[in-house]
Structure formats: C-alpha cells, structure tokens
Amino acid sequence: MKEVDIKKLLDWYQKNKRDLPWRKTSDPYKIWISEVMLQQTRVETVVDYYTRFLKFLPTIHDLAHVKEDQLLKLWEGLGYYSRARNLKKCAQKVMDLGLSSLPSDESLLKTLPGIGPYTAGAILSISYQKCFPAIDGNVLRVLSRVYEDDRDLLKKSVRESYENLLKKFMTKENARSFTEGFIELGALVCIPNGVPLCENCPLRSCCKSKKHDTMLEYPKKKKKKSRKIVSKTVYILKYQDTYAIRKRKEGVLVGMYELPNVDETFTKEQLGQFLTQKNDSYSSIRFIGNFKHIFSHLEWHMKAYLVNLNEKPKNYKFYSKETIAQKYSLPTAFSQIFQKIP
Ligand code: ADE
C-alpha cells in the first residue's frame, strides 16, 4: 500500500459513504456511543438504538447519572450488557476526573473503563482528527487480503504492526475519513461473507489477494471454539394478566430481568410435578415452543411453557405485558419467548 492507494481510498469514501447519523457529528461522546454499539451489531440496527440513546442521554453527564435499569432498558436487545455498564462507569470516571468530555490524550483515554485500542483509535481519529488508527475486524479483513497475511490477526503484535503501518499514512487532515474509509470499505466492498466486490475496490491495484485470486482464503480462519450447550425450561408464570419476572443474580445476563427458568429440560408433566413440589397452584400448563439463544461462548436451548397460576408465589414480581415492555429490560433470550405468548 502506498500513498497513492490511500488517496484512492479517500476519494472512494467521499463518493460512496453512507449517510449515517454519527457521521454528522464530531462530538466525542456521540462518536463513542456509536462505536461501542457498532461493535455489537449491524449498522441498520444501530441507527435506531443510537438515536433513542442520545435522545434520552444527550450528554456524558446524563450517562454518568443514569439509573442502571434505565441504561439496560436503552441497551435491551443489543447484547453484551457489560458494555453498557462500562459506558456508565467510564462516564462517571470522566466526571470524577473533573473533565467535561472524553479526553483527547491517548494514554488517558485508554485508562478509562471499556476503552480498548479500537475505541480509542475511533474517538481520537474521528472526533479529534488525531493520527491513531481504529482497527476492527473489518479493517483487519481488508489488510489481511491486501497483504495476503497468514498471521493470527487476533494477536496484539499483529494489530500493533498494522497500527504502526497505518499511522504513517494518517494526517490531521485525513484522520477522520481515513478511519471511516477503511471501515466503509470493509462493510461495502471487501465484505465478510461472500465474494468481495473487487471491481469497485479503490485498493485493487495494490491488493495481493486480488492479484492471486485468493480473496476468499483471507482472513485465515481459526477453528472456532465450540459453544457449551445449556438445555433449559422457561416457564412463564401468568396470574390474572400479569407475568412473573425477577432480576438475575448471577452468571450470564446478571442484573437483567428474566422469566422463571431452570437448567433442565422438562416435559409438561415434569414441569407440573416441579411446580407442585414448590407449592405453586396452577390451573393449566401450555407448551409454547422450542427456542434457542446464542451467546458468544454458550447456547441456550429452551423449551417454553405458559403456566396459569391460581395464586402468586412470593419470589417473583408480577407485571402486565405493557409494563414489562416499557420499564423492564428483558433480554432477547427471554423476550423472544415472551412475544410468543398466545
Ligand atoms: N463499524 C464500526 N464503526 C463504524 C462506523 N463509524 N460507521 C459504520 N460502521 C462502523
């Protein structure tokens, strides 16, 4: 890659960039929120979350003072809830340091909770026009193809070698478009699934993979670790048009609300026996369906039932469907079942 290739990339970006809400601002707080959300899910999904989040929490000061339940509600459906909690921790730390906004100093920025090299690079280059690259999976895919790089891209040393390389091409004038341009190229042209659109690529003349027609061999795939499978029964407890929820005390999704569930697979009869043992008096049990939820390191395979109760057990709170939707953060693993209640 030479300077002339970077110039082509920047020209391409100006002509082809998507109109996205976080591209209309340099506010470091807004850029930060967009980047953390974009690490979790697709651009199309982020647009609505981003807009709603900033409407509710327009400044870093608002984020530092938000109630955890409200924060998790804004994050509901995005997953990786520890990231949302880290956002608040980070905002609090910025306030504690007596700053009015995220710092533009690289070392200080990287000491803040949840801010790793990618997020720091994105904030520094996009908001502050500083020469720090932001290298995520998309950018690594582009680079691994350009250089036919067989190395393990997850290694810190590999990322750092690319940071050093990219820094050489960055200037105060191009820093923002440089970061956004590489990301956009990875999203629109040098795509992850399927054949990349090399004919449209501004880097095609310097790309080794294009030259040798090896694009689909890069990035080198590592064997994926298999996920642990947990079989569960989720039993929705209904009492007079209200439904039982409670806060999770431990494990994955800790602090989020959950529907009653156990780590065992019950038939309808077994669930009936289980409830009777717990002294729950019910009038009917209905099978709703089988559901699956995939986390990064485990999968929940769930059998779901709807139980009509004759009285309320003590260890749950009961709310209407509307109240749960408006006030409580029920993660997708459970809300997908809740939505199917007949
Ligand atoms: N993915 C990660 N960062 C992004 C950004 N700023 N714009 C679009 N997609 C992204």
The strand pair at 282-294 and 317-319 is best described as unpaired
According to DSSP, residue 21 is labeled: G
How far away, in angstroms, is 146 Cα from ligand 1 center?
Answer: 20
Q: Is 137 helix (H, G, I), strand (E, B) or coil?
A: helix
* Best residue among 31, 49, 183 to mutate for probing ligand 1, ranked by most atoms within 8 Å of CB: 183
Q: How confident is the model at residue 342 (pLDDT cuts 50, 70, 90)?
A: confident
H or E, element range at 317: strand 317-319
pLDDT score recorded for residue 314: 86
Bridge partners, 308 (sequence order): 238, 284
Q: Which whole number is the average pLDDT over 123-143?
A: 97
Name the β-bridge partners of 293. 300
93: how many CB neighbours lie within 10 A of its CB? 16
Q: Are 207 and 279 in contact (CB under 8 A)?
A: no
b/e code 32-57 from CB counts within 10 Å (16+ = b): bbbbbbbbbeeeeebeebbeebbeeb
Mutation probe of ligand 1 site: the residue of 13, 24, 30, 43 with most atoms within 8 A of C-beta: 43
For residue 157, which phi and psi values (nearest 5 degrees)?
-65, -35
Spatial separation of the C-alpha atoms in residues 96 and 318, rounded to whole Å: 38
Under the banding of pLDDT at 50, 70 and 90, the label for residue 87 is very high
Residues 219 and 232: their CA atoms lie apart, in Å, by 36
Window from 73-82, 160-169, 190-199, 219-228 with minimum mean pLDDT: 219-228
- 3-217 domain in CATH 1.10.340.30? yes
Identified catalytic residue from 35, 76, 180, 258: 35
Pocket residues: Cβ below 6 A from ligand 1: 20, 35, 38, 43, 136, 180, 183, 187
Compute the chain's Rg from CA coordinates: 24
**Given the CA of residue 22, which atom of ligand 1 is nearest to it?**
6
Q: Is 35 a catalytic residue?
A: yes
Mutate to test the pocket of ligand 1, among 13, 18, 26, 35 (most ligand atoms within 8 A of CB): 35
pLDDT-derived band at 312 (thresholds 50, 70, 90) equals very high
Is a pLDDT exceeding 80 seen at residue 224? no
Show the DSSP H helices in the chain as ranges.
Answer: 3-16, 28-38, 43-56, 60-64, 68-75, 81-96, 106-110, 117-122, 137-146, 156-167, 175-188, 208-212, 268-277, 321-327, 332-338
The pLDDT of residue 315 is 87
Is a pLDDT exceeding 90 seen at residue 223? no
Half-sphere exposure of 29 (CA within 13 A, CB side): 19
- Kindly report each contact of residues 7-11 with a partner whose C-beta sits within 8 Å and lies 24 or more positions away, as own/partner: 8/202, 8/203, 9/178, 9/181, 9/182, 9/185, 9/202, 9/203, 10/174, 10/177, 10/178, 10/181, 11/202
Question: What's the pLDDT at 310?
Answer: 96
What is the Å distance from ligand 1's center to 17 Cα? 11
Q: How far apart are CA 54 and CA 63, in angstroms?
A: 9
Q: Is the pLDDT of residue 188 over 90?
A: yes
Domain 228-338 has CATH 2.40.50.100: no
Q: Determine the distance separating the centroid of ligand 1 and the alpha carbon of 96, expressed in angstroms.
A: 29
Ligand 1: distance of its center to the CA of 150 in Å? 25
In the chain, % of residues over pLDDT 70: 100
> Pick the residue with more confidence: 329 or 271?
271
Q: Tokens 């929120």 identify what position?
A: 33
The span from the CA of 213 to the CA of 172, in Å, is: 35
Give the burial class of 140: count Cβ atoms within 10 A of its Cβ; 0-12 exposed, 13-18 middle, 19 or more buried: buried
Report, as an integer, the average pLDDT of 94-123.
97
- What are the pLDDT digits (tens) for 36-81? 999 988 999 999 999 999 999 999 999 999 999 999 999 999 988 9
- Write down the pTM of the prediction: 0.84
CA of 192 to the centre of ligand 1 (A): 15
Q: Would you state the pLDDT for residue 277?
A: 94
Ligand 1: nearest atom to the Cα of 34:
6
**Cα separation values, 214 from 2, 79, 139, 217, 290, Å:** 21, 34, 17, 5, 41
CB 255 within 8 A of CB 247: yes
Locate the ligand 1 atom nearest the alpha carbon of residue 134 and give its number. 3
Domain map of the chain by residue range? 3-217, 228-338
Which whole number is the average pLDDT over 243-249?
A: 94
According to DSSP, the residues that pair with 50 across neighbouring strands are: none
Residue of the CA atom closest to atom 2 of ligand 1: 38
Distance from residue 46's CA to the centre of ligand 1 (Å): 10
- Averaged pLDDT of the chain: 95
